Structure 1
Amino acid sequence: MTVTFSLDTDSDATVWPAMPVRGEGRGAARDRKKWARRTSELLWALVDDEPVDKKQVKMLAYELDSVAEQLPRTVPVHQVFLYVPDPRREFLTFLVHAGPSEGDVDATLDELVQKNEPGAAQDPEVIDFDTDRLGRGKRSIRYFVSTKAEAMCVSVNYAWRIESLGIDVIVRTLGEDIGWITANIDEFDEFARSLFVNPDI
């Protein structure tokens, strides 16, 4: 079953820009690079306390383009949002994926937020996370050792069952900067509550 849907947000688009998910080919690569350049220019233009450095703009554009190119090849995603409160530090990717609703709601949401996933450094912190816009959901904070990075990482995982569409939706981010990520949980929760299904898709 192919799931056709789109999430949107009314969060600040300069902090939470959407990343295009393109296919292969010259046209896709050209569009991706254009998006990365324009997004980098905009984000750096909003930094008030220092002049825009073309090298920094170019570097961020390269990083954005690299992530936009590689992510769809390595992770099944429907959409990607970025968290970029300051272009001078590494941004986070928030990956959106959806599939047909299956099984008991609680058990499925627990699975989607990786409550019992092997490899956790400790029991994940799991809470109910219902929102007015998406419905019944859960959120977890999970600490684990990444075999790829060989470092302790943290993931923040949201999942909802959208009854009206018959789908379960996951929104997930992860990274090694545990202190910074956990310090911004309130920001992430606010963003998650702002998400809604785009009716125009």
Structure 2
Amino acid sequence: MIEVGAVLVSEDLIKEEFVCNLHKCRGACCIEGDAGAPLHQTELAVLKEIYPHVKPYMTEKGIAAVEEYGTHVTDMDGDLTTPCVGGNKECAYVTWENGITKCAIEKAYESGAITWKKPISCHLYPIRTTVYPEFEVLHYDRWHICHSACSLGRELHVPVYAFLKEPLTRKYGAEWYSELEAAAAENDSNK
């Protein structure tokens, strides 16, 4: 682990390579799994507020899920997540373009209807965050559906943290990201 501010960063984020390859995976991370996307408590009010602006970009079954379960749910582990169609698997905010999943929230953001891009857990994926009282831990979530992203990352020589510069900067700030880059360079030179 590498310490950057009050965040412990797994060395896997520096040594592993990753670039989403949507043409291969088709956005499977938005429709697979046993729960919706993890949410932070501060995101709940945002989701409720933006829902009317996101709704026009959603599928009918996604709208039905939000109308039934709400803009967020608490999963069986007690974690806050996005609701899913039918109660599990496909995120209610998923929409489709040419057979590839897209985020209705992000589409609303891109069109200028809202100013919030999407839940930070979605933006950071494949990084997952564990929060403790005094610090956070960032770790690399390996999932077989991301095999093509790992292959493309190796082909292009893009470390996980570099691929996720925008969401890491969104969450922790530009200064923090610069410190992460410096720590990664130092870690690389020590090999």
* Range of TM-score over shorter length: under 0.3
Normalised TM-score (structure 1): 0.24
Structure (1 or 2) with the greater strand fraction: 1
